[in-house]
Amino acid sequence: MKNFAFKQNLLSRSGLLLTSASALLLSGCVDPKARLHDFENLVLDATVYDAQIDAAPRDVPDITGTFYVAFVTKGIDPDMDHLVNLIWTFEVTKGPNGQPVSLNMNTRSLNPQTRQPAMGDTLVALNNVPISPGGEFQLDFKDFILVADANFTMGDLLLNQKLNVTIQSANVICAVVIEGAVVTPIPLDLKGSSAVGVRVPPGTVGNQLPAAVIECPQVSTMPDGGLPDGGPVDASIDAHPDAT
């Protein structure tokens, strides 16, 4: 019944919860057991969020490592059932001055309920992605398949999307879909969907993952400019609120 209701919601709304994941802004604490009826005020808006690679040069952190990414699809209520959960792994290349200049990355999809690797999923890699002096880069996914086990539409989704990603700190990245859509089975515009990634130890899945974060923490709100120990972040959704 839940899957049917979600599919009906998908047909009538303008976005699909992707990616997964989409995602975080640390302006407040969200009740992890509540549905986020005011979610449109929480997700990044592509018309407000800077979609250009034009941030001022700065000391850019090295994000080499593994990130748990939660995607919020614009127009879809971002409770845990409707997030797209991903693992992104980055390998950064630095220039002569020690600044990150490019990266290789790969992504794997997770089952939204168990947050274990999704059945049928295959690794997707993007290589030689430039990083701007301001710590921004774009990920361009073409003919990406989000397998049925990683979403609640009861089938595989074929999509294209380009994301503008900002390195907030060594432990947090934020992204917004600046163009993209689900191609099949139902055409859906994904522009304005958003995602946040938080650093986790390599190989972390399931209950060992932190709560999904759906707001992007602004560097100016964090005295140290990041999450030094991978600790908890506000505005999260507890995937397993009763887990011990």
Residue 244 in domain = no
Residue 72 in domain = yes
Rounded average pLDDT over 175-204: 94
Rounded average pLDDT over 220-228: 38
Rounded average pLDDT over 128-142: 96
- The pLDDT score that the predictor gives to residue 154 is 74
- The pLDDT score that the predictor gives to residue 27 is 28
User: Does pTM surpass 0.85?
Assistant: no
Average pLDDT for the chain: 75
Residue 35 in domain = yes
Confidence of residue 196 (pLDDT cuts 50, 70, 90): very high
Residue 228 in domain = no
Q: Residue 200: in which H helix or E strand, if any?
A: strand 194-200
Domain enclosing residue 14, as ranges? 2-220
**Measuring CA to CA, how many Å separate 153 from each of 1, 185, 225, 237?**
12, 10, 38, 21
The residue among 184, 171, 237 whose CA lies nearest residue 210 is 237
Residue type, 243: A
- The pLDDT score that the predictor gives to residue 218 is 67
Residue 225 in domain = no
The residue among 231, 123, 128 whose CA lies nearest residue 172 is 231
Confidence of residue 38 (pLDDT cuts 50, 70, 90): very low
Counting the structural domains of the chain, the total is: 1
Which residue has better confidence, 59 or 220? 59
Residue 234 in domain = no
Residue 230 has pLDDT above 60, yes or no: no
The residue among 205, 207, 213, 240 whose CA lies nearest residue 117 is 205
Residue 227 in domain = no
Residue 107 in domain = yes
